[in-house]
Structure 1
């Protein structure tokens, strides 16, 4: 049982690390439905990561500040999406002018 927990944790935590940045790509390339699905999966992965960290006080003490800082940085990912949409709109407007 413990081996399964470790394997699942490695997979989900690895996904949680890259998922916020993949969410932007999903919104841009596949549309809103895929983007919001990816957002939901990201939230679940991040919640599971906190649960996995909480299983061991030493790991929680060491990794929680790092993980919290990373989640704070990831909270700015939607701002990057908004900037990308603005840049795309400007590019489309410029292309239509010429």
Structure 2
């Protein structure tokens, strides 16, 4: 998973925090994630140029539909049928917006 910002904490520790502190941490984490995504976007072109200059081959126009068709069957495995897994995946997707 690529993410500009990942936060990890013990649920036991989190549950001991007062709601006000949980809210402050959530707000700070969201703000930090937005900042890091924006910072990454502004630096992407320079980083890509540097990698190309060092010999990295970059596919500028990837065949996304081919990729999607190749991984489409992954949605049918039992793990993804689990409601808890589906809920978690939706939370991850929402957090990346």
TM-score (norm 1): 0.32
Q: Which has the larger radius of gyration?
A: 2
